[in-house]
Amino acid sequence: MSQFAINLIFVGASFALYIGIAIWARAGSTKEFYVAGGGVNPITNGMATAADWMSAASFISMAGLIAAGGYANSTFLMGWTGGYVLLAMLLAPYLRKFGKFTVPDFIGDRFYSRGARLTAVVCLIIMSVTYVIGQMTGAGVAFSRFLEVSSAAGIWIAAAIVFLYAVFGGMKGITYTQVAQYVVLIIAYTIPAVFISLQLTGNPIPMFGMFGTHVESGQPLLATLDEVVRDLGFRDYTADVENKLNMVLFTLSLMIGTAGLPHVIIRFFTVPKVADARWSAGWTLVFIALLYLTAPAVASMARLNLITTIFPDGPSAPALAYEDRPDWVKTWEQTGLIRWEDKNNDGRIQMYNDANAAFAPTAEARGWAGNELTVNNDILVLANPEIANLPGWVIGLIAAGGIAAALSTAAGLLLAISSAISHDLIKKIINPGISEKGEMLAARISMAGAILLATYLGLNPPGFAAQVVALAFGIAAASLFPALMMGIFSKRVNDKGAIAGMLAGLITTLLYIFTYLGWFFIPGTNMLANTADNWLFGISPLSFGAVGAMINFAVAYAVSLSTEEPPQEIQDLVESVRTPKGAGAALDH
Amino acid sequence: MIKQMLLRTGRRRRLITWSLVVWALVSYGFAMLLRPMLAGISIGGTDLGFWFAQQGSILVFMAIIFHYAWRLNKLDKEFGVEE
C-alpha cells in the first residue's frame, strides 16, 4: 500500500470519528452550547482542555524551537505549563463559582459596566482571531504535505470539518471531539519518540532517555550533543543565557498569558462543582505534561540525529554527499522547507554556524564556504518518523495527530469568539430580550462567520503569522489576566479602574510590539530595528506582556483609589465568590 | 461563624502563598536565576538547572496543583462550605 493511501486512511478514520461524536453530542440548549451543560467529568474535561490548549504550535513547532535554541528556549516549556498553576489556584475555581458562561460576562458583571464588558469582548476577539489564523495555516500545511492536495484545498477541508462539529455540537460536541483528538495527538507524538529514544539510548521512555547514555558514544546524550554542536560553531545546547531579565519576563508573559486565555478559562465553566474545577486544572496539566515532557527529548534527539545524518563520520570528516541524501530530505525539499545550496561546489552538504566569527578559520580550513543547508524548524516533528526510518503507519499517525492538534484548538477558539458575540455583544448589550432559540441561532451564525473569516485569513495570511503568538499572549497577559485577578481578589477596584487598567495594559503592549515589529505588522513601518541593543532594558517585544500587566495593575489601582468604592452588592459578590457553597445555584442564571 | 470564616481564609491564603513560593523557586529560581549556583550538581551530562528548566519544573507544577486541590477541598469539607 502506498504511503498516500495509508495517510488517507488514518486522516479519514479520525475525521469519521470526530463527526460521529458530533452527531451523538448535539447541543439542545444555550447551556449545552456554551458550557456543555456544566456536567463534564474533571478528567474528561482535563483531557479536552489539554487538546484545546495544545495547538499546531505545541505539536508541530515547539520541539523544533527547543532543538534550535537548546536551554534558552526552555522558556516555552516552563511558560506554557506554569500558567496552569496560576489558573488552578487564582482563577479557575473562583470563576467557576461565579457561574457565568464567558470571560467578558465575568468582567462585565463584576465591574458593573458595559464599557468593561465591551473592552473585554474586543480584547478577546482580536486575540482569538489572530490565534485561529495560525491553526488554519498549520492544518493547511499538514494537509498539503500528507494528502498531496494544495494548501488552499487543505484549509477548505479543515474549515468544513470544524464547521460540522463545532456549529452543531457547540461546547458539548467540541468537548467530546477534543477528547478523541487528544488521544490521537498524544499517541502520534509519543510513538516515534519512543522508537528514537530506544535507537539512541536504549531507554524506551524519552524523558529518561534524554538524560541517559548515548549508546554509540558511551557518554551522556546531552554531553555528546554539546560536543557535536560546538564542533560546528554553534552555542552549546545546554549553555546558559546572559540576559536573564528577558528570559524571566518572557516566561512570565507566557505564564500569565496562558492563565488569561479566554478559550482555556471557558473550559473550567464546564465542570459540575468548584472542587472539580480545582482537580480539572491538575488533570489538564498531567495531559499536557505527557507531551511537554517528551518534547525536549524529541528536540535534543532530533538535533543529534540530523547532525549525524549530515556528518556520518563526525564534523571534521567529509559531509554527506548530496546524491546519497535520504528519502525524507527529498520529500521535504519539494515543500521548500529544506533547501540546499552547494556554495563550495563539492557536491556535499555542509551545515554549520557561519555567523560565528570565531569559528570562521576552522570552517575555512575544512574547505567550507558558508552554511549550505536551511532546515525549517517546523518540519522536525513531522519528519521525525521518516528520519528514524519508522514504518509507514507511524507517518500516517503523525499526519492525523498534527491535524487533530490544529482542529481542536481552532474549534475552542471559534467557540470563544461566537459566545463573545452572541452572548456578550448581542444578548447583553444590543438586544437583551432575545429568546434562547434566537441566541443559539446567533451563536451558530457568528461561529460560521468566524470560520469563514479564519479561512479567508488562512488563505491570505496578512504576513504576520509568526508574530501572532506574541500578540495573542501579550494581549491576554496585559489586558484580561490582571482584570480577572483584580475582579476576584480586590473589593476596591471599580469600573473606571478596570477599564483604564485594561486599556493602559493593552495599548502600551501593542505600542511596544508595533515599535519593533511594524505598525499592524506591516513590514518596514517599525520605528526601531528589532535587535537586542534597541530594546528597552533588553526586554524583547515578545516579553513585554508581563510589563503591560504590571502597568495594568498600577493604573487600575491608582484610578480606583481616586474614585468611589464599588457598590455594596458588588463587594458582597466578591466575598461570596471565595467560598464554594452555592455554586450550583449560580449556574442557572 | 465569622471567626470560622477568617480561620478558613487565613489557611487558604497560607496554602496559596506557599504554593506560589515553590512555583517561583523551581522555575524562576532553580531553572534560571540560581542556575549558576547549582552548576556543580550534575545530572545526565548536564547540570541540575537545565533539568529543572526542561523537565523538573513541569513535574513540580503538577505536584503543586494536585496538592493544592487536595488540601483546599479537605479544608472546605472541614468548615462545611463544600457543595
Q: Do B44 and A279 touch (CB under 8 A)?
A: no
Which string of DSSP letters, residue by residue, matches A189-243? HHHHHHHHHHHHHS-SSHHHHTTSB-TTTSSBHHHHHHHHHHTTTPPPTT---S-
Q: Which residues of A touch B16 (CB under 8 A)?
A: 89-90
* Distances in whole angstroms, Cα of residue A345 to Cα of each of A184, A341, A342, A369, A373: 45, 9, 5, 9, 13
The C-alpha of A183 sits at a distance from chain B's nearest C-alpha, in angstroms, of 20
What value does the mean pLDDT of chain A take? 84
Q: Do A81 and B58 touch (CB under 8 A)?
A: yes
How much is the pLDDT for A146?
Answer: 75
Tell me the β-bridge partners of A99: none
Candidate from B16, B61, B72 with C-beta closest to A285 = B61
Interface-testing mutation among A43, A54, A71, A207, with chain B (most B C-beta atoms within 10 A): A71
| Banded model confidence at residue B1, pLDDT cuts 50, 70, 90 | low
What is the Cα–Cα distance from A165 to A226, expressed in whole angstroms?
47
Q: Minimal Cα distance from A294: which residue of B?
A: B55
How much is the pLDDT for B26?
Answer: 94
* Distances in whole angstroms, Cα of residue A218 to Cα of each of A202, A307, A364, A533: 12, 18, 31, 42
Reply yes or no on whether the pLDDT at A444 is more than 80. Answer: yes
Dihedral sign (CA A483, A90, A247, A79):
negative
Q: Minimal Cα distance from A219: which residue of B?
A: B45
Average pLDDT over residues A450-465: 73
Reply yes or no on whether the pLDDT at B64 is more than 90. Answer: yes
What is the Cα–Cα distance from A386 to A389, expressed in whole angstroms?
5
pLDDT tens per residue across span A364-388: 888 888 889 988 777 888 888 887 7
From the CA atom positions of chain A, what is the Rg in Å? 25
| Banded model confidence at residue A37, pLDDT cuts 50, 70, 90 | low
How much is the pLDDT for A588?
Answer: 38
Lowest mean pLDDT among A36-45, A299-308, A501-510, B32-41: A36-45
A448 within a domain of the structure (yes/no): yes
Reply yes or no on whether the pLDDT at B6 is more than 80. Answer: no
How much is the pLDDT for B62?
Answer: 94
The C-alpha of A222 sits at a distance from chain B's nearest C-alpha, in angstroms, of 5
Q: Do B65 and A247 touch (CB under 8 A)?
A: no
A339 within a domain of the structure (yes/no): no
| Banded model confidence at residue A81, pLDDT cuts 50, 70, 90 | very high
Average pLDDT over residues A23-51: 77
The C-alpha of B28 sits at a distance from chain A's nearest C-alpha, in angstroms, of 6
Average pLDDT over residues A288-303: 93
If we measure between CA atoms, which residue out of A302, A324, A301 comes closest to residue A312? A324
A584, containing H or E segment:
helix A583-587
SS3 A272: coil
Interface-testing mutation among B27, B34, B52, B59, with chain A (most A C-beta atoms within 10 A): B27
| Most confidently predicted of A333-342, A346-355, A460-469 | A346-355
A441 within a domain of the structure (yes/no): yes
Q: Which residues of A touch B57 (CB under 8 A)?
A: 77-78, 81-82
The residue that leads in pLDDT, A198 or B79, is A198
Q: Residue A226 sits in a domain of what CATH number?
A: 1.20.1730.10
How much is the pLDDT for A464?
Answer: 47
Phi, psi torsion values for A205, nearest 5 degrees: -100, 110
Candidate from A252, A275, A281 with C-beta closest to B83 = A275
How much is the pLDDT for A557?
Answer: 93
What is the Cα–Cα distance from A52 to A84, expressed in whole angstroms?
14
* B75–A contact, CB cutoff 8 A: no
Reply yes or no on whether the pLDDT at A40 is more than 70. Answer: yes
Phi, psi torsion values for A340, nearest 5 degrees: -125, 135
Candidate from B28, B43, B76 with C-beta closest to A211 = B43
Q: Do A219 and B20 touch (CB under 8 A)?
A: no
Reply yes or no on whether the pLDDT at A296 is more than 50. Answer: yes
* Distances in whole angstroms, Cα of residue A224 to Cα of each of A220, A453, B4, B41: 6, 48, 59, 18
How much is the pLDDT for A585?
Answer: 40
If we measure between CA atoms, which residue out of A279, A267, A349, A269 comes closest to residue A307? A349
| Most confidently predicted of A273-282, A293-302, A375-384 | A293-302
Which domain range does residue A186 map to? 3-301+390-465
Q: Measured at the alpha carbon of residue A386, what is the angle toward residues A384 and A391, in degrees to the nearest 5?
A: 115
A146 within a domain of the structure (yes/no): yes
How much is the pLDDT for A122?
Answer: 87
How much is the pLDDT for A589?
Answer: 39
Reply yes or no on whether the pLDDT at A44 is more than 80. Answer: yes
Reply yes or no on whether the pLDDT at A483 is more than 80. Answer: yes
**CB-based contact A179:A48 (threshold 8 Å):** yes
Q: Do A244 and B33 touch (CB under 8 A)?
A: yes
A264 within a domain of the structure (yes/no): yes
The C-alpha of A81 sits at a distance from chain B's nearest C-alpha, in angstroms, of 7
Reply yes or no on whether the pLDDT at B44 is more than 70. Answer: yes
The residue that leads in pLDDT, A538 or A448, is A448
| Banded model confidence at residue A581, pLDDT cuts 50, 70, 90 | low
Q: Which residues of A touch B38 (CB under 8 A)?
A: none
A7 within a domain of the structure (yes/no): yes
pLDDT tens per residue across span A139-162: 777 777 777 777 778 788 888 888
What is the Cα–Cα distance from A512 to A501, expressed in whole angstroms?
17
Q: Label residue A405 left, alpha or beta by phi (over 0 means left) and psi (-120 to 50 means alpha).
A: alpha
What is the Cα–Cα distance from A104 to A128, expressed in whole angstroms?
13
* Distances in whole angstroms, Cα of residue A503 to Cα of each of A115, A507, A508: 11, 6, 8
Q: Minimal Cα distance from B47: which residue of A?
A: A238
How much is the pLDDT for A586?
Answer: 40
Q: Which residues of B touch A251 (CB under 8 A)?
A: 27-28, 32
How much is the pLDDT for B79?
Answer: 79
A312 within a domain of the structure (yes/no): no
pLDDT tens per residue across span A22-33: 778 776 677 777
Reply yes or no on whether the pLDDT at A361 is more than 80. Answer: yes
Total number of domains constituting chain A: 1
A344 within a domain of the structure (yes/no): no
